[in-house]
Amino acid sequence: MAGAAVLRSLRILRPRTLATSGRFLDPGKCVLFPASCVLYLPWRSSPARSLQVCSALCAGHNKWSKVKNIKGPKDAARCKMFMKFALMIKLAVKEGGTNPAMNVNLANVLEQCRSKNMPKTSIEAIIKTATKPGSQLTYEARGPGGCMLLIEVLTDNITGTNHEIKRLGMISDGVRHNFIRKGVVVPGQNVSTDRALELAIEAGAEEVQESEDEEEQPILKFICDMVETSKVRASLEKLGSEIASVGLEFVPRISLSLSEDQLEAALMLVEALSDCPDVIQVWDNIRLTAEDVSGTFCGC
């Protein structure tokens, strides 16, 4: 009789959310009560199966925290990266047409887009609208500590873009001469610095630079003359290297070292300029050391 009374109590205490058509859920699907809610049957010396309700019903909170704190920032960075790719596609189309077979720069940009899993439909839509009126501009500016900046822009609102760039940076003539346009080939796999230098010599590259990609992952850049870009790429592939991207970049002739405060202010300025919707790329002549990177980004 005592056992029947306890079973009746269990049916009364059973949460409605755990019942299905008047029957208990399969034992493998039951949730556990906290230890304080465990009911001990009089004919057993050890606890019966316990059921826990609160943690399972509130699990969505932890899931949302993960989405908000991890997925959100990643999605925002991914969206920003795709916006920059869109500008690069439009600029390449304006310079050489919509056919990648006849437009090497466009082919290189599309390769970068695919390597970052940019949707094919988005790429096609951008190419279709790339022939709309728009102006390509390159602003020359100086930042903290006298660092030099080249700001590449594609806009259909020159007045608004002028106002925004001048609001953020100090427009200055004579900056362009400190930059030269070079071919840049980025291998897809990690290689040691020594091996990279060997590959650069064999492939005909001028130098190797350490940098970061759009997702702040370390990469190596093989720098070469513009007309040698395709040759260097082919040589690296022949030597067994997978290629992540190929393109043209403005490389500084002379780099400038900054103090810690100047470096922090300069990087904030570059980030603010990069966030402008019409800015394709911001090129600078700032020299970063390993100590600068760890100190700036770790808050040391």
Token couple for 261:
């405060």
Same domain, 44 and 77: no
Q: Is the pLDDT of residue 65 over 70?
A: no
Mean local confidence (pLDDT), 192-196: 87
pLDDT class of 192 with cuts at 50, 70, 90: confident
pLDDT top residue among 144 and 27: 144
**Could you list the residue range(s) of the whole structural domain that residue 30 is in?**
26-62
pLDDT for the residue numbered 291: 56
| 16 inside domain | no
pLDDT for the residue numbered 222: 94
149: closest CA among 299, 293, 31, 286? 286
Same domain, 167 and 287: yes
166: closest CA among 140, 187, 137? 140
Same domain, 229 and 293: yes
89: closest CA among 241, 247, 233? 247
Q: Report the distance separating Cα 191 and Cα 199, nearest Å.
A: 10
Q: Is the CB of residue 175 less than 8 Å from the CB of residue 149?
A: yes
pLDDT class of 289 with cuts at 50, 70, 90: low
pLDDT top residue among 157 and 43: 157
Q: What is the domain count for the chain?
A: 3
Same domain, 184 and 235: yes
The enclosing domain of 143 has a CATH number of 3.30.70.980
Q: Is the pLDDT of residue 39 over 50?
A: no
Of 15-24, 50-59, 105-114, 133-142, least confident by mean pLDDT is 50-59
pLDDT class of 73 with cuts at 50, 70, 90: low
Q: Where are the alpha helices (DSSP H) in the chain?
A: 2-13, 54-57, 59-66, 72-96, 104-115, 120-129, 158-168, 193-203, 229-238, 260-274, 290-298
Same domain, 167 and 284: yes
pLDDT for the residue numbered 231: 93
pLDDT top residue among 57 and 35: 35
